């Protein structure tokens, strides 16, 4: 942790120096918030994973301090969808695929907890190709805990069903079950039949016993919710 903070401080110091020298050469003056935004933006858009993680640590520190500037949500959105929606190719090879950075970005979007963060997460899970990132994004949607027009639950059901068909993953399935349970108890509830279909698939699929049992238990709980509401 100490090493990470030292690296972060050094990187930000270097970036600040470069920005200041550039501004002085051009005869311009910038507010501290502008300098901060520039540093975060340029670090996040680096082609180097370590730089992206430094940007995410800086964003995390700002969030812990209660900051809510636009550079926070914009940086998290950029890093959450980079490589899956915003793609860069060279000689036919994807060059900006950083799942480790995406996983941390979607986690922080859950911590941020706004409606805009929820919408970004929904977009991300519909395009995500890495199960570890998808599981983190699904957990973040559970942390936010809202399901307007069944949009959140429906997107999760679609994304996890895709993985269930191609490559079943226990942690992803468990994340979906946990989030469905949270959303079922929310003000909006869950109504999309694809959620029940997915729970049946998980309860009967090639998952470890505890995951299958959790899926079956939630399915029975959802049936109880529907009967109580009818």
Matching residue, tokens 């191609």: 166
User: For 51-55, 99-103, 118-122, 221-225, which range has the lowest pLDDT when averaged over its residues?
Assistant: 221-225
Read off the pLDDT band of 23 (50, 70, 90). Answer: very low
* Burial bucket for residue 89 (CB in 10 Å: 0-12, 13-18, 19+): exposed
pLDDT at 34: 77
pLDDT at 169: 96
Indicate if the pLDDT at residue 196 is higher than 90. Answer: yes
List the Cα angle 8/13/15 in 5-degree steps.
95
pLDDT at 33: 63
List the Cα angle 120/57/41 in 5-degree steps.
65
Q: How far is CA 42 from CA 28, 30, 38, 47, 206, in A?
A: 19, 16, 6, 10, 44
Indicate if the pLDDT at residue 14 is higher than 60. Answer: no
Read off the pLDDT band of 13 (50, 70, 90). Answer: very low
Closest CA to 99 of 78, 123, 81: 81
- Contact status, residue 194 vs residue 158, Cβ threshold 8 Å: yes
User: For 22-36, 84-98, 212-226, which range has the lowest pLDDT when averaged over its residues?
Assistant: 22-36
121 or 20, which is more confident: 121
pLDDT at 226: 54
Mean pLDDT, range 146-173, rounded to an integer: 95
38 or 97, which is more confident: 97
Both structure tokens of 174: 């468990």
List the Cα angle 136/132/191 in 5-degree steps.
50
Name the pTM for this structure: 0.84
Indicate if the pLDDT at residue 76 is higher than 60. Answer: yes
* Burial bucket for residue 152 (CB in 10 Å: 0-12, 13-18, 19+): buried
- Percentage of the residues of the chain whose pLDDT score is greater than 70: 83
pLDDT at 32: 54
Q: How far apart are CA 208 and CA 180, in angstroms?
A: 19
pLDDT at 2: 36
Question: pLDDT tens-digit profile of 95-115?
Answer: 999 999 999 999 999 999 999
List the domain boundaries for the chain: 1-128, 145-230
């Amino acid at each position: 942790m100490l090493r990470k903070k030292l690296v972060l401080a050094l990187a930000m110091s270097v970036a600040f120096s470069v920005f200041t020298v550039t501004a002085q050469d051009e005869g311009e003056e910038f507010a501290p918030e502008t300098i901060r935004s520039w540093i975060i933006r340029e670090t996040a858009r680096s082609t180097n994973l370590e730089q992206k993680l430094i940007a995410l640590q800086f964003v995390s520190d700002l969030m812990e301090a209660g900051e809510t500037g636009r550079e926070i949500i914009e940086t998290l959105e950029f890093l959450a969808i980079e490589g899956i929606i915003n793609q860069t190719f060279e000689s036919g090879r994807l060059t900006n695929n950083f799942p480790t950075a995406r996983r941390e970005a979607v986690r922080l979007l859950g911590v941020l907890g706004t409606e805009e963060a929820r919408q970004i997460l929904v977009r991300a899970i519909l395009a995500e190709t890495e199960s570890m990132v998808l599981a983190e994004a699904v957990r973040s949607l559970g942390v936010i805990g809202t399901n307007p027009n069944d949009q959140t639950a429906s997107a999760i059901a679609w994304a996890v069903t895709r993985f269930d068909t191609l490559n079943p993953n226990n942690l992803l399935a468990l994340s979906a079950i946990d989030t469905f349970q949270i959303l079922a108890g929310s003000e909006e509830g869950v109504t999309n039949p694809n959620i029940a279909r997915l729970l049946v698939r998980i309860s009967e699929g090639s998952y470890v016993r505890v995951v299958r049992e959790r899926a079956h238990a939630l399915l029975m709980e959802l049936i109880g919710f529907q009967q109580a509401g009818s």
